[in-house]
Each structure stands twice: as structure tokens, then as C-alpha cells.
Amino acid sequence: MTDKTAGGDVRLAGISKHYGSFTAVHPLDLTIPQGSFFALLGASGCGKTTTLRMIAGLEEPSTGTVSLGDSEVTHLPPYKRPVNTVFQSYALFPHLNIYENVAFGLRRRGIKSVKKQVDDMLELVELGQFAQRKPHQLSGGQQQRVAVARALINHPQVLLLDEPLGALDLKLRRQMQLELKRIQTEVGITFVHVTHDQEEAMTMADTVAVMNGGRVEQLGAPAELYENPKTTFVANFLGTSNLIEAEVLEAGGSDVTVSSAGATLRLPAARCSTTPKAGGKLLVGVRPEKMSLVHADEEDTVAAGRNKVRGTIAASSFIGVSTQYVIDSPVCPELEVYVQNIERDARLAPGAEVVLHWNPEHTFGLDAAQDIDAGIETVEEGA
């Protein structure tokens, strides 16, 4: 990430933003490689939009610098930055028609013959026949595409997207996600996308930075973040995690052995974000879809070497492709398990005694000094 060969990287060095005594963004270092699709993911108020606005020039950082490629732009006003924004509410000019909205940036830079470019851009976002309409005569999805076209036509070094899909319904949002991804691949411009929707961030972005309380909690490729969360916030905010409080029995080798409520579990030392010490505490995490479920009568069918936990089914919900179970277990009162509906065992109903088992390789370890519930409420709020 510190590679400086690419000329168009966005580099944030120690930028922070305070409003009075409130710190919206803590000093932050971030390099966004040229041509990447980068997502800033977090709940509302986590500082992601403020970070975006500092790149756009709409907000001046309290400390630190913003650089685009080789030039520092920290104190340049927005109209002098080679950066364009797709605003959350689109902010289309209501008194101008679609054509003039899209041509706005070109005209401001003194380009006289804009027709060809505007027509091409409207074609790219499939709005050719709407050129003469006013923004309020268009649907939400169409307005969103105008906002993208209006920004992209300027060939910015970086396109900033501030929750651009937030106002659209679910189906349209999925469609626009693919659309935006297609456009990004086509034009090759760096996209910085702010969103609170973890699924959106994971489907669209090459790199995701998860923000919480004005800090970047973790940064990486979506799969990397999902498989190896480094904090409880990331583990809970991206998808669902089962976190088990455990005591470390043995550490030092390639595997760590822990115990929780009588169950002995193993996990790879490489997947611990902290250095476990024998006798210390550790949060053991596993994703619901990595776990398997058998009735307690068939415990002996579970292969040796797998992590095993006993429990009782507290609730189950059938959702077609899978069944989601909530297991009341001594290690954790609410373990979630997703089981593919390949063969359904009729005995697996609420109240049934079950055994959960999973491959120790699929277990990750987190520092036990954190809030185990961090990031949980925000997921529900965002969904």
C-alpha cells in the first residue's frame, strides 16, 4: 500500500477532522491505489462521509494532508480539484435539464463543444432519450445515473460516491451496483465509495476500509475482511460471527487450544489477531455457515479433530436455500448456524439436543479485551 510508483493514487496522510470538541475522524493514513474500487464502510456517524468530503475539498481537514498523485490538494477549493462527487441526494440542478446537468462541469471548464461528449455519456448511462427532461421528471434510479454521468463526464482522477444507492429500493440497488461496477471497469477511474451496506461494499469494492468511531478498524479485500476479521466490530459488522469467550490452555505451536464451558476447541495461531498466552483469555470466532449440525444421538459420526460444541436448538427459521438455527449452548447462549437444505433432518426442531462441529481451520481468534457486541446493533439499523 506504500508503493508510490502509481501516479494517481489518493494519499491521505494523518488527516483528521474535529468539530469543536467532537472528533469526527481520528488521524488517518490511507492510500487508495489508482484505478481501484475502494469502499469506506461503516455505520452512520463513523466518519466515512467526512473522510470523503475531505478528499472532495468540501471539508477542510483539521490536521494532515490530502494528495492526488504527486500534487498536494489539502487546501485547494473543490472547484480546483480533479475530483468529482456523486452526492447522496444526487444534488441535481432542478432548474436545468438532464443535458445541461451533465454538461455543467464541461462548460465551467470553458469547453465549448460539449454535445458529442454529453450524448456519449448519456448513452453510457442509457438515458439518451431523457436529455430534455428536468430532474424531477425522472425516477430515483434515473436521477442516480444522471448524477454519475454528470460526475464521470469530467474524467476525474477520482470519483467519490457518497452513499449513492441509499435512496433506491433493494432490487434497483442490486442492479445499480452491477452497473456502477461495469462503468468503473470500463472507464478505469478510481472510485471511492462510501456506504453503510456491507453487502454493497463487498460486492463492489476491491478494497474495503471498515470505519468505526472515526477510525479505520481494518482494511483489506472483502474476502480477507470476512474470513479474518481483526476486531469484534469487523467480525460482527461484516456478516454474522459467533464469538465464544474462551480460556487459552495451550499456545506457542501452530495451533492454539482453548477451553470454554468444558468444550475444548482448537484454532490456527496464524488466525489470531492477538498473541494468545496460556492462561489468558481469547475470543474464538466462527462464521455461521462454516458450522455443521447433527442430532446429539449421532455425535459419534462427527469426524475426529473437528471442534465440537453441544447445545439445544432454541429457534429455527426455514429460508429456502438454507435453514438458520439459533443454538443455546453452554459456550454461548445464542450460536447461529446456517445449514444448507440438502437433506433435512426432521429431528432438528426447537428443543432438540444437537452437536455443532466445524473444521478448526475455520476458526479465528480475537483479543478478549474488546466489547464482544461491537458492531451488532449497527448492522440491524443499516439493514
Query: Which residue, 93 or 318, is less far from other proteins as judged by CB?
Result: 93
**Residue 20 engages other proteins in binding (rule: CB under 8 A):** no
Compute the CA torsion angle 218, 224, 228, 234 (nearest 10 deg): 40
**Residue 84 engages other proteins in binding (rule: CB under 8 A):** yes
- Interface residue with other proteins among 104, 290, 306, 360 (CB under 8 A) is 104
**Residue 95 engages other proteins in binding (rule: CB under 8 A):** yes
- Interface residue with other proteins among 33, 34, 87, 274 (CB under 8 A) is 87
- Rounded to 5°, the CA angle 372-374-376 comes to 105
* Smallest gap from residue 84 Cβ to other proteins (A): 6
**Of 7-15, 74-82, 267-275, 277-285, which part binds other proteins (CB under 8 A)?**
74-82
Query: Which residue, 97 or 292, is less far from other proteins as judged by CB?
Result: 97
* Smallest gap from residue 368 Cβ to other proteins (A): 44
CA 131, 137, 138, 143 dihedral sign is positive
Query: Which residue, 165 or 256, is less far from other proteins as judged by CB?
Result: 165
* Smallest gap from residue 137 Cβ to other proteins (A): 11
Phi then psi dihedrals of residue 173, to 5 deg = -65, -45
First-last CA distance in the chain: 31
**Residue 189 engages other proteins in binding (rule: CB under 8 A):** no
**Residue 310 engages other proteins in binding (rule: CB under 8 A):** no
Tell me the Ramachandran region of residue 250: left when phi exceeds 0, alpha when psi lies from -120 to 50, beta otherwise: beta
**Residue 109 engages other proteins in binding (rule: CB under 8 A):** yes
Number of neighbours of residue 19 by Cβ within 10 angstroms: 10
- Interface residue with other proteins among 44, 71, 89, 341 (CB under 8 A) is 89
How far is Cα 46 from Cα 73, in angstroms, rounded to an integer? 24
Residues 143-182 that bind other proteins (CB under 8 A): 150-151, 154
Compute the CA torsion angle 117, 123, 125, 131 (nearest 10 deg): 80
Query: Which residue, 91 or 379, is less far from other proteins as judged by CB?
Result: 91
Number of neighbours of residue 17 by Cβ within 10 angstroms: 23
Please name which of 352, 287, 347 lies closest in space to residue 313, comparing C-alpha atoms: 352
* Smallest gap from residue 199 Cβ to other proteins (A): 26
* Smallest gap from residue 87 Cβ to other proteins (A): 6
- Interface residue with other proteins among 45, 78, 213, 239 (CB under 8 A) is 78
Residues 227-246 that bind other proteins (CB under 8 A): none
**Residue 338 engages other proteins in binding (rule: CB under 8 A):** no
**Residue 134 engages other proteins in binding (rule: CB under 8 A):** yes
* Smallest gap from residue 149 Cβ to other proteins (A): 12
How far is Cα 115 from Cα 85, in angstroms, rounded to an integer? 22
Q: What is the 3-state secondary structure (H, E, C) of 31-95?
A: EECCCCEEEEECCCCCCHHHHHHHHHCCCCCCEEEEEECCEECCCCCHHHCCEEEECCCCCCCCC
CB distance 265 to 259 below 8 Å? yes
Judged by the rule CB under 8 A, the positions of this chain that interact with other proteins are 56-58, 77-80, 83-85, 87, 89, 91-95, 104-105, 108-109, 134, 150-151, 154
